[in-house]
Amino acid sequence: MMSLGKVKFNRMIFLLILQGLVVVLFYGCYVHRRPPDTPPSTGKVHVLVLSSWRSGSSFMGQVFSQHPSVFYLMEPAWHVWSTVKSPTARLLRMAVRDLMRSIFQCDFSVMDSYLPEQYNLFMWSHSRALCSPPACPLTPRNQMSSEPQCFQKCDFQGLQKVEEACGTYSHVVLKEVRFFELESLYPLFQDPKMDLRIIHLVRDPRAVLRSREESAPLLSRDDSIVLEQRKVPAAEVQYQVIQEICRSHVRINERAVLKPPPFLKGRYKLVRYEDVARNPLKEVNDIYEFVGLGMTPQLEDWIYTLTHGEGKGPAFQVTSRNATNVSQAWRTMLPYSKVKRVQEVCEGAMSLLGYKTVKSEEEQKRLDIDLLVPQEPYQLSWVSTKKEHKSKR
């Protein structure tokens, strides 16, 4: 005859098993019902800032680079584009994709094919993570880095230190200007080891043209790759490059927004440089929230200083300047004939992205006419938010 104690013990075991089954069933239902636009969580978040040359991408890169949770690299695809002879963007896109996949996973052995011995990663000193421990003792993680100081005091120590540093951050962010469509990135979205988010940064193509003219010699090799090595009259190069860039923005946005495959839902965010210039704090906060980062008071102050200065730095350098004035400079400095030409080659992209065209030089130079179609009402200005933040300290 079974003792009373043994009966109680068996009942307890049965109840524990039943409880376990309920938990498993509940979890299965939760996973099954999880909204399809919720990206998977794998611990590390991978962010690709996808943009084009002279579109404010260096600033956006620093918005990520200076965050204490981010390992950031600026344009690693430069190594691919600069290594292959007489390439085209179409032929190089898979090599660039595979390079980014490895770097996102902190595997830098892929760089052996593109990085000669004793050479540094492209623009490595623009990465705070490579100026901070364990890569370099110069800059504590909770402080802003200085690119000139980093370049002078952080000696290149090989890719082993880079890999070690990469593995210690929750977010790996790459900034790229050398991708012109999303389809070749699909394997990265579908990789269960990756949690990829896209920040698609665009800028008014008229402003892009004006900025490109200031740094044309630095962009000549890239221009040839964009134009598939075609022979183009010198006077037409910039317009044809701008046209290709505008077409790529349309392709990327339509693919991600109109009929995205399931794995793209919730992983794409369009950002206009002009919106960031007008409301830096709000826009950066939204971007951080999209990728799972939090704003810090130190970052707020840094962003304010960077977007409210009067400086003017060289190409690809991030300096303190008035972001709103910079975004509007083309209206007073670019001849209307060039503005008209850009509007012709980028008409579809400008309409899609919310940039109004001008019909005359007079309209172009009237700065009281707003040429940006609002995406949403600006309820909070930077100044009011800044004051509220200061008062709470």
In a domain, 89, yes or no: yes
pLDDT (tens digit per residue) in 155-168: 766 788 899 999 99
- Tell me, what's the pLDDT at 37? 44
In the chain, the number of structural domains is 1
pLDDT given for residue 220 in this prediction:
86
What CATH number did the domain enclosing 284 receive? Answer: 3.40.50.300
pLDDT(116) > 80: no
Q: Is the pTM of this model over 0.95?
A: no
Residue 268 counted as domain residue: yes
Exposure pattern of 39-63 as b/e (b: 16+ CB <10 Å)?
beeeebbbbbbbbbbbbbbbbbbbb
Res 157: pLDDT? 62
User: Exposure pattern of 105-144 as b/e (b: 16+ CB <10 Å)?
Assistant: bbebebbeebbeeeeebbbbbbbbbbbbeebbebbeeeeb
Residue 6 lies in a domain: no
Q: Which of these, 63, 90, 89, lies nearest to 74 by C-alpha position?
A: 63
Long-range contacts of 32-36 (CB under 8 A, 24+ apart): 35/266, 36/262, 36/265
Backbone angles phi, psi at 136, to 5 degrees: -155, 140
Domain-located, residue 296: yes
Q: What's the rounded Cα separation, in Å, for the pair 355 and 346?
A: 10
Evaluate whether residue 161 is within a structural domain.
yes
Across 248-270, average pLDDT:
94
Residue 199 within any structural domain of the chain:
yes
pLDDT of residue 378: 35
Mean pLDDT of the chain: 82
Model confidence pLDDT, tens digit, residues 300-329:
999 988 887 654 544 434 444 456 677 788
Burial of 71 (0-12, 13-18, 19+ CB in 10 A): buried
Is 17 inside a domain boundary? no
What three-state secondary structure class fits 89?
A: helix
In a domain, 10, yes or no: no
Average pLDDT for residues 90-118, to the nearest whole number?
Answer: 87
> What integer pLDDT is reported at residue 1 of this predicted model?
46
> Does residue 175 have a pLDDT over 50?
yes
Residue 261: per-residue pLDDT:
94
Strands (DSSP E) along the chain, which ranges? Answer: 45-50, 70-74, 171-176, 196-202, 268-272
Range of the domain at 246: 45-388
Tens digits of residue pLDDT in 191-247: 999 999 999 999 999 999 999 988 888 888 888 888 888 888 989 999 999 999 999
